[in-house]
Amino acid sequence: MLKRFLDPATLTLSRPQSAGELTVLPLLRPGTAEPGYLTLGEALARGLTRVTEVSEGGSVPQLLFINDAMRPVLLLDGEELVGAKQNRVLNLTVLAPAHAKTEIPVSCIEQGRWHWRSRQFRDADRTLFATARAAKMAQVTESLRQGRGHRSDQGAIWESISEKSANFGTYSATGAASDIYESRREPLDELVSQITPLPDQVGAAFIVRGRLVGAELFDSPRTFAQLLPKLVRSYGLDALDHSLPRDSAPAAVDGEFQAFLEQLLAAATLRRPAVGLGEDLRIEAKEMVAAALVHEEKVVHLSAFVRDR
């Protein structure tokens, strides 16, 4: 299944796009069908879904997703939800079934607030920054291995947000990751304006400050095009962080990425039921951590990160 999804005969690299310290390697797959689901952003914009606390008292690691649409809705790992009692991010990619209520595992990214700001969450224009997303993915994988479900290390996530805030000299009264993004909105918007999707593009590899950091692959160019701005802000925030190490640009990015794919295909895998539809596939190797949502034996989304060197 992964071998077919990552087959170089159908998945090809295009010319890199660069903006500041962020370089994106487009991944193209011609002839891909339209997805049979909506993204979270478009479903919320059409008023077809709602995201709320699970109860009046709320529960930090869980939210309630109410899908009134006639199609499933795709929620992306690390996607940020703003409002209610505190801001959260998704712990994994979820394909929420149509006409159903689904409890979704989340992590708090606003440590200093636990009171209502709104009855429902709204969609943010970003995902959690890539370094924290990678660490969270490894934490959730270990939690699954131990039979504890899709749980993160909440303390570690708060610490990563605190460190990132310090790196940018940002103050937040509630320790919210959103305040870091708002403090860098202009340069992040500039990155988004310079990194644009190509025809047939289903994914990308991301090079941050000269280092291959990760890759995101979807089953549809339409999905990728809708989610690319969120991903650019995720990797882009790390690209703007001058405290992170910088390498000279790789001499042969094609070769480095192909080696990354080979490691991905050779890595051990762990399959568990997904939240909502499909299966959650966890992929671990010495130098990487990855996760994929599989539905009806097809990969819907694959996210992979290089471990800290």
Residue 284, pLDDT score: 84
Q: What are the CA-CA distances from residue 146 to residues 10, 139, 149, 150, 268 (Å)?
A: 36, 11, 8, 10, 16
Other CB atoms within 10 A of residue 110 CB? 22
Cα distance between residue 260 and residue 146, in whole Å? 27
pLDDT in tens, 10-39: 899 999 999 999 999 999 999 888 999 999
pLDDT band at residue 248 under the 50/70/90 scheme = low
pLDDT in tens, 119-167: 999 999 999 999 999 999 999 999 999 999 999 999 999 999 999 999 9
> Residue 2: enclosing H or E segment and its boundaries?
helix 2-5
pLDDT in tens, 64-91: 999 999 999 999 999 999 999 999 999 9
